[in-house]
Amino acid sequence: MGREMKRILVVGGAGYIGSHVCRMIAARGIEPIVFDNLSSGHRHAVKWGPLEVGDIRVQGDIERVLARYKPDAVMHFAACIEVGEGERSPLRFWTNNTGGALNLLNAMATTGVENLVFSSTCAVYGQPEFVPISERQACHPLSVYGRSKRAVEQILSDVANVGGVRCAILRYFNAAGASPDGDIGEEHDPETHLIPNALKAAAGIGPKMKLFGTDYPTRDGTCIRDYVHVLDLADAHLAALDMLKMGERKIVANLGTGDGVSVLEILGAIERITGLTPKYEVCERRPGDAPVLSADTAYAEELLGFNPVRSDIDTIIEDAWRFHRRQWGI
């Protein structure tokens, strides 16, 4: 590894994935500085370093924090993430996801911070030509969300090509799970992700879960997705940063397991693990949902030594359940 790191600025570090990464950064003896506007993140999830409340839509906010802390690197998680909302409010998504990233890059250039790990998504691929999806597949994002992230990838590529930044673009598949001690976990509001909603339905909190489509060309008719434990994702961020420090200029890597799990398989695993049956209603397919999305992980394995040890579905659900039981007081 290059020069030893002292501090990392974690933009969006009060959110789900960012808070788990902060915890891991601190465990490696590096100070995580969180920059967050708390629009969807939580003050109580910032425990391992200072919280600077600010907004990436305001370049001065981010520049001030970069100048103050002079971090060795930035990890950028802040974004609007609810895909359906992006279709209703495209400007909000482009402004926050793409405009915010541009502000961050400009602020990094002004303050001389070089290394960036960026949270991208498998949504940049759109309907894949084939699965598992490798990084070489063409990107045809189908949603405003996916396009707002793909645009950042293209900007990063242009800037990295002229030596303006060293960047790791990490395309997560479905982040899931929680810290094994139940301390932090997934707390989106509204929650649109399957596992927390299915656990809620199993616990009898709120309405029945919606299952979108049972007539897909998959083994049981429901959509198949690639779930990756949030701690495995966190590991990959530190590995990517190590690679940048060793001289890589640009990394683009999928983060998934390669093993897809169907919606019905998730519900079955929840029943097995919690002893409770998630109640659901079958709804129409959602437009744009691909039958199967799973990652070709060969490149992440080779480059980052990525080995998703906690990402089997039982461990993911056990960890998520432990967190939610505590959160819901049950």
Q: Is the peptide bond before 32 cis (omega within 30 degrees of 0)?
A: no
Can you tell me the distance from the alpha carbon of 92 to that of 146, in angstroms, rounded to the nearest whole number? 14
Instruction: Confirm if 49 and 26 have CB atoms less than 8 A apart.
Output: yes
Based on the shown chain and the rule CB under 6 A, indicate whether residue 293 belongs to the binding site for ligand NAD: no
Which residue lies nearer to ligand NAD by CB, 193 or 322?
A: 193
Residue from 5, 8, 9, 18 in contact with ligand NAD (CB under 6 A)? 18
Residue 216 CA to residue 245 CA, distance in Å, equals: 44
Exactly one of 5, 9, 10, 16 binds ligand NAD (CB under 6 A); that residue is 16
Q: Which residues in 3-103 belong to E strands, given as ranges? A: 7-11, 31-36, 51-53, 73-76
Please tell me whether residue 306 binds ligand NAD under the rule CB under 6 A. Answer: no
Q: Which stretch binds ligand NAD (CB under 6 A): 15-23, 153-161, 206-214, 268-276?
A: 15-23
Count of residues near ligand NAD by CB under 6 A: 27
- Among candidates 174, 282, 299, which has minimal Cα distance to 240? 299
313 part of the interface to ligand NAD, by CB under 6 A: no
Q: Which of 59, 115, 121, 311 binds ligand NAD (CB under 6 A)?
A: 121
Q: What is the DSSP string of 264-280?
A: HHHHHHHHHHHS-PPPE
Q: Which stretch binds ligand NAD (CB under 6 A): 53-61, 196-204, 217-225, 284-292?
A: 53-61
User: Residue 267 CB, nearest distance to ligand NAD (Å)?
Assistant: 18
DSSP, collapsed to helix, strand or coil, labels residue 210 as: strand
- By CB under 6 A, the residues from 170 to 189 that bind ligand NAD are 172, 174-175, 188
Q: Does 57 bind ligand NAD (CB under 6 A)?
A: yes
280 is catalytic: no
**Beta pairing class for 224-225 and 261-262:** antiparallel
Q: Which of 16, 69, 125, 145 is catalytic?
A: 145
What CA–CA distances, in Å, run from 148 to 90, 102, 138, 175, 299? 9, 12, 16, 19, 24
Q: Count Cβ atoms within 10 A of the Cβ of residue 329 and give its class: 0-12 exposed, 13-18 middle, 19 or more buried.
A: exposed
Applying CB under 6 A, the span of 35-43, 102-110, 200-208, 211-219 interacting with ligand NAD comes to 35-43
- Can residue 63 be called a binding residue for ligand NAD (CB under 6 A)? no
Q: Which residues are known to be catalytic?
A: 145
Residues lying near ligand NAD in the complex (CB under 6 A) are found at 12, 14-18, 36-41, 55-57, 77-79, 81, 96, 100, 119, 121, 172, 174-175, 188
